[in-house]
Amino acid sequence: DQQVKQNSPSLSVQEGRISILNCDYTNSMFDYFLWYKKYPAEGPTFLISISSIKDKNEDGRFTVFLNKSAKHLSLHIVPSQPGDSAVYFCAATSKTYDKVIFGPGTSLSVIP
């Protein structure tokens, strides 16, 4: 039973436009959420995170939104650049959980 879901396996966006990657979770104990980016032949790298006490966190072109009542978060990339083409993993954890649970990933292609 997947506790973190990313229902879109892939997404294609034009350069300069907004990319929106979605993530849903089922475990209400999760209170900290992270996004990781992965290029081929490399390990995932941390991108941005959000605590459950916030509903938005912004870092440059990347913004993460959290809707706790819907158990949903999204990552917005504006403007999208070809170098953003990668697999994006949503992840969740909590203070009492001792492990980070990842979603299956969404492959983003930004077309020049």
Binding range to other proteins, per CB under 8 A, among 16-24, 59-67, 75-83, 85-93: 85-93
83 is an interface residue for other proteins by CB under 8 A: no
Closest CB 83 distance from other proteins, rounded Å? 19
Let me know: does 3 contact 92? Beta carbons within 8 Å.
yes
Q: Order the strands of the 4-5 sheet from edge to edge.
A: 4-5, 19-25, 72-77, 62-67, 56-59
Between 13 and 33, CB nearer to other proteins: 33
Tell me the three state secondary structure of residue 87.
Answer: strand
Of 13 and 92, which has the nearer Cβ to other proteins?
A: 92
11 contributes a contact to other proteins by CB under 8 A: no
Contact 37, 47 (CB under 8 A): yes
Q: In this structure, what token pair is assigned to residue 61?
A: 């072109």
Q: Which of 13, 34, 77, 86 binds other proteins (CB under 8 A)?
A: 34
**Token pair belonging to 24:** 């849903």
**Residues at the interface with other proteins (CB under 8 A):** 6, 9, 32, 34, 36, 41-46, 49, 89, 91, 93, 95, 98-105
